[in-house]
Amino acid sequence: MELILEMSLEIEGFDNLVNEDEIKEYVEKVLTKEYESEVPVYISLLFTGNNEIQVINREYRDKDQPTDVISFAYHETEDFEIGPYDTLGDIVVSLERVVEQAKEYNHSEKRELYYVLTHGILHLLGYDHIEEEDKIEMRAKEEEILGTFGYTREM
């Protein structure tokens, strides 16, 4: 699968956490395992902070608080077939929230980063956690994917 991943890091001080090559390789492997496309797949990924993601969360979800990850799944709209790509969507991650949650859950920042990234990818692929049975399915898929790559809760 060919992946076109546009990444932006719009917050300083997190260069040690965001390794673009590793992230691209991870996203590519997850999509190869979980998604089929005959044309190149496009995803944009924005790494930002709590203030910036709070604005997005307020504007698009009517929730005036920071969150860890927000996904905009283009396949849920009618105009995702634009250009020569399979445009899956956009993922926005608050690196500040990732660090906070890693401390809260007592595991590594890297594990938390890959958890929220996986969560965002699964939303782009149509998973959600509104209904309890969907939540159980999505959580199981997250843990399966993370375990495959060694990103366990103990990390």
pLDDT at 85: 86
Q: Report yes or no on whether pTM surpasses 0.85.
A: yes
The two three-digit tokens of residue 83, written as one number: 């250009």
Those residues with Cβ within 8 angstroms of residue 45's Cβ, 6 or more apart along the chain or in another chain: 5, 6, 7, 8, 23, 27, 90, 91, 93, 117
Region 106-128: mean pLDDT is: 95
Give the pLDDT confidence of 60-107 residue by residue, as tens digits.
Answer: 999 999 999 999 998 877 666 667 888 899 999 999 999 999 999 998
Give the pLDDT confidence of 51-61 residue by residue, as tens digits.
Answer: 999 999 999 99
Nearest to 118 by CA among 30, 57, 9: 30
Is 27 within 8 Å of 40 (Cβ atoms)? no
pLDDT at 130: 87
